[in-house]
Structure 1
């Protein structure tokens, strides 16, 4: 579990601002479950999704997401991982492959989290941000993710990563504005 509790370049909970926010969330929670819920709801509701709100800058590091209060799903998942890891909760990164239009190609990756719950194991949560047609919740043991898998080439990718996928980091680092990222969302090829 050590790798799901570690700080890193993008899950940088060793920075003062992430440490302070993690402590604030911890002091307001009476249990680990409450801490997970409040951290999830903070990132889901208080950090604005870059594309939904047409916001710059493009963020990737957890500390930048917190500082600018915006990020794509990938960056928001980095912040949630940082806040939970800072409080000793094992947290990983997960991805779905989704249709951009909901009707087939083109496809893109969508970033979310998995958190280790002592009573039931790994549980996926999606801090993307709710809007019309998107209603992600924290209601273990039932998952309530932002997007269901619908078309034949969409997938819930089974891995739980300790670090962001390099192609996600590359996309967020390469482009300067939210609309450039939106036009170049990362995707992977499915293996038959």
Structure 2
């Protein structure tokens, strides 16, 4: 569980601005559910999704996402993990493989979200991508309501990451935003970056 509580180069809650924002969001709340919901709603609703807003900047580190107020799904998940970890709530990064053409068929792209460990519920996945027409992600444990419902051959990666995989970092740092996943449902579903 310790891996999901540490500050890293990307999930940098030791950055003064991230730490201050985490404390501010938790102020007045005592339990992990209320703090997690407050942090989740802040990232979902107040941090713009770069693609939806056609932003020109690509952020990666949690501190960058907070500073610029924008991020792709991956980057928003980095900020949410940082805010929750700063409040001693174990948080992981997780991913879905979604169809690039929205038809449930390959090729796939990775979609970033989080899993948070709540005292009364255990691991619970949340998606702070940002709502829009056709996307209505919510925080309502134990019920999971993510941004996207899997379709056809799309699938979840059943691994919780303490830090983003290289494919995600490459996508963000190279500004080739869609981290592609070339597999089909019949192939072994193991990350290519292992």
Aligned to 2:70: 70
Distance 2:96 2:85 in 1: 22
1:81 aligns with 2:81: yes
Question: Does structure 1 conserve the Cα–Cα contact (< 8 Å) formed by 2:107 and 2:182?
Answer: no
2:192 corresponds to = none
Kept in 1, the 8 Å contact 2:18–2:66? The answer is yes
Structure 2 unmatched ranges of 5 or more:
189-194
Q: Which residue of 1 aligns with 2:116?
A: 115
Unpaired runs of 5+ residues, structure 1, are none
Report if the CA contact (8 A) 1:29-1:38 is conserved: no
Q: Does 1:136 align with 2:137?
A: yes
Alignment check: 8 A CA contact 1:56 1:70 kept = no
CA distance, structure 2, for counterparts of residue 4 and residue 137 of structure 1: 22
Residue 188 of structure 1: CA displacement? 2.6
Q: Provide the rounded CA distance (Å) in 2 between the counterparts of 1:22 and 1:140.
A: 21
Question: Is the contact made by 2:126 and 2:144 (CA closer than 8 Å) also made in structure 1?
Answer: yes
Find the residue that maps to 1:92 and give its secondary structure: strand
Q: Which residue in the other structure is 2:181 paired with? A: 188
CA contact (8 A) 1:25 1:38 kept: yes
Deviations 1:123-144 (A, max 9, x none): 0000000000000000010100
Aligned residues: 184
Q: Tell me the C-alpha RMSD between the 2 structures.
A: 1.1
CA distance in 2 between counterparts of 1:94 and 1:105 reads 20
The DSSP-based 3-state class of the residue aligned with 2:180 is coil
CA deviation string 1:136-189 (max 9, x = no partner): 00001010000011122x1011100000011100111112xxxx52xxx11234
Give the Cα–Cα distance (whole angstroms) in 2 for the partners of residues 96 and 55 of structure 1: 23
- The 1-side partners of 2:139 and 2:64 are apart by 24
**How far, CA to CA, are the matches of 1:145 and 1:71 in structure 2?**
18
Comparing 52-61 and 98-107, the one that deviates more:
98-107
Q: Aligned in 2, Cα 1:189/1:105: closer, same or farther, shift over 3 Å?
A: closer
Q: Which moved more, 1:20-29 or 1:135-144?
A: 20-29
Point out 4+ residue stretches in structure 1 off by more than 3 angstroms. 189-192
The Cα offsets for residues 54-95 of structure 1, whole Å up to 9 and x where unpaired, read as: 012100000000000000000000000000000000000000
